[in-house]
Chains A and B, each alone.
Chain A
Amino acid sequence: MWSRSKTADLTEGRAPALRFPAPVSAWPASHPEGRIPQAQTASRFRRIPVYRQKYIFLLPGLLVLIAVILFPLLFTIRVSFSSWDVYNPGLNNAGGAMYARMWDDARYWEALRRLSVLSISTVLIQYVLGFALALLVWREIAARRFFRVLFLVPMMTTPVVMSVIWRTIFHESLGPLNPILDAIGIGAQPWLSQPGFAFAAVMVVEIWQWTPFMFLLLLAGLLSLPSEPFLAAKVDGAGPIRTFLSVTFPMMGAISVGAILIRAIEASKIMETVYVLTSGGPGTSTETVSYYIYIRGMRDFQIGYSAALSLTYLIIMAVALTLIAKALMRLMVRGAQA
């Protein structure tokens, strides 16, 4: 059969050279020795015992993440127990003074309440709109691929850059929005100078920017659904609404929970839109937690205080998101199975 010298001939180019990585279907049967030849790279790893080689995969990424994120986080915990600011830079021991100050900081708790309202309402609106859009272009519509691409575009654009553009759109005297509202009889509105309207403006931008992400996740889910239950529903004579309530929606339960959670995680960090669009104003009426911490830490340079604020923020968000995740699972996944 095949001898060593014959294999050497193959590599010398008299016969077509074997290319790697070989397609899975091509080996091992197609190879003369029924095994993949060892290339240069293999010998280097041979020195590490095989059962240890699993660490080659995990450790590089894990160590980078620990170095870049875990250590700064531990450092933040230490800093939050100091009163590091412009006048007293450096680590000292202030005990829980910063946390006591935070307890009485109405502006912080107000920002937290506002962030909750903003993120929960925008994510729910995004979910409803995203689901509706996904259903619309799911099937049975002309040019659906065109609409899918179009609906995805906003999530690819840079949020801050689009927020700057939105700021010109909301401009009260020169922007295009008020003339349009005037023309359809609603009338011009003080978009960025009245608290309620400024809040609505932030919501509009968030919805424009991130509904596509919800749409993407939900449409991917819809397209992965099996077709048999829909056939069964059709045979049983169910109309479109009945089919949605009894077939589509229950099957989308787990995917919905996943999509809502991913968006809720991102929405809990909202700050860039606010920074560009309103700078937290008018007054502090659109300030979110991230933006308030930014003002305290990066602008006023109250490092110790902002560390205490951000740790509390992180813990509250982690706990809140876990609770939301549990509640949603119970509501949408188990509810659908019952």
Chain B
Amino acid sequence: MKTFYLALKYLAVTLWSAFVIFPFLWMLSTSFKSQNAVTGGATWIPWAQFEPSLAGWKSLFGGVGGINIVKPYINSVIVTGTASVIALVLGTLAAYGLSRFTFRAGPIRNADITFFFISQRIMPPIVLAIPFFLMLRWLGLLDSLPGLILVYVAALMPIAVWVMVDFFNTIPRALDEMAWLDGCTPVTTFLRVILPNVAPGLVVAGMFCLIFGWNDFFFAFTLTFTQTQLLPVSIVALNSSVTPWWSLSAAAIVSVAPLAVLAFVVERFLARGGLAGAVR
């Protein structure tokens, strides 16, 4: 009976692993195909089933049937990186304030402000798309990197606040009080005493900002046209009835590869129990 359970367990794990890997294997294989190999029906193994070609990979730098993804790639790195850092700084400051001090404005209390921050995740992007479009046009920031960064900061900050409030709440207040007694101001207390203690939280929050920023499509899609395309937008632009599957697959691989590495980082935090605070 015990071996039966064990076999069942490994079977389930293997099946799900196959489901997870399936699209990745498919796109890896397709990225080495030529047009003939694609239109000949589904094949998987190079040399045995089709003659491999580097056309898809070459088309990443421009050329026929492909897209030059170098510039969108750089744009994506700039926007995601800058917006994540700004969102993390603003979000961490706000989270510390909300976790340590009492704010009051009429009936509004700390819990309400925290809820206001976090509840922004409920807002469907489409609700804000048109006002954002008009606002950026009014500011002259439509189709530009600063405009996108501004929007992404607002979209990512709730994540940073959500993760950091929990982390700050796990740090005992006695630590702050000791620092105050020793002559620190609230700002220096935060910078020298509390911040070094929430480094794991910063990593977790930063990681989530990167994931959600890099993977966002909608705002980049509605707020840019030709000047500042981001990576997902330029890849989806390839999607049509006559999609060049080989270029698409190659572009998809270079687009998802950098963040897939983050899975290792997340797993390390899981093993050490560093994510428990974020769940509660």
Residue ranges of A at the interface with B (Cβ–Cβ < 8 Å): 20-24, 27-28, 34-36, 38-39, 41-42, 45-46, 50, 53-58, 60-62, 64-65, 68-69, 71-73, 75-76, 79, 129, 132-133, 136-137, 141, 145, 147-162, 164-169, 173-176, 178-179, 208, 216-217, 219-221, 223-224, 240, 254-255, 258-259, 265-266, 268-269, 271-272, 276, 289-290, 293-294, 297-298, 303, 306-307, 310-311, 313-314, 317-318, 321
Contact = CB atoms under 8 A, between A and B. Distances in A.
Top 6 closest pairs, chain A to chain B, by CB: A57-B97, A72-B131, A61-B94, A224-B276, A54-B101, A68-B154
A72 B135 contact: yes
A259 to B, nearest CB: 7
Contact of B127 (A60, A73, A162, A254): A73
Interface in B243-268: 243, 245, 248-249, 251-252, 255-256, 259-260, 262-264, 266-267
Given A69-B154, A147-B13, 20 more contacts: A21-B191, A27-B182, A28-B182, A36-B192, A45-B187, A62-B113, A62-B117, A65-B157, A71-B135, A133-B16, A157-B215, A158-B235, A164-B238, A168-B26, A208-B20, A266-B121, A268-B122, A293-B127, A294-B126, A298-B133
Interface residues of B, number: 109
A289 B127 CA distance: 11
Contacts of B129: 294, 297-298
Nearest to B216: A158
Contact of A45 (B128, B188, B264): B188
B179 A36 contact: yes
B218 A152 contact: no
22 contacts: A35-B182, A36-B179, A36-B184, A41-B188, A54-B103, A58-B93, A58-B97, A60-B94, A65-B116, A75-B131, A76-B130, A136-B9, A145-B267, A145-B271, A150-B20, A150-B263, A158-B256, A164-B238, A166-B23, A174-B39, A220-B270, A297-B126
B214 interface: yes
Contact of B13 (A22, A141, A176, A314): A141
A148 B273 CA distance: 14
Nearest to A156: B259
B91 A61 contact: yes
A221 B276 contact: yes
Contacts of B276: 220-221, 223-224
Interface of B: 5, 9-10, 12-13, 16-17, 19-24, 26-27, 30, 38-39, 41-42, 44, 90-91, 93-94, 96-98, 100-101, 103, 113, 116-117, 120-135, 150-151, 153-154, 157-158, 161, 175, 178-179, 182-188, 190-193, 195-197, 211, 214-215, 217-218, 222, 231-232, 235-236, 238-239, 243, 245, 248-249, 251-252, 255-256, 259-260, 262-264, 266-267, 270-271, 273, 275-276, 278-280
Contacts of A159: 215, 217
B96 A57 contact: yes
Contact of A58 (B41, B94, B195): B94
B255 A161 contact: yes
B195 A21 contact: yes
A220 B267 CA distance: 10
Contact of A24 (B193, B243, B273): B193
Contacts of B251: 161
B27 A165 contact: yes
Contacts of A27: 182
Contacts, number: 308
A167 to B, nearest CB: 7
B157 to A, nearest CB: 6
A38 B179 CA distance: 12
B259 A157 contact: yes
A258 B128 contact: no
B19 A58 contact: no
B248 A148 contact: no
Contacts of A151: 16-17, 20
A198 B110 CA distance: 45
Contacts of A314: 122-124, 127
A169 B251 CA distance: 16
B55 to A, nearest CB: 16
B154 A65 contact: yes
Contacts of B132: 72
Nearest to A293: B126
Contacts of B158: 65
Contacts of A169: 22-23, 26
A25 B133 CA distance: 51
Contact of A61 (B27, B93, B151): B93
A306 B266 CA distance: 39
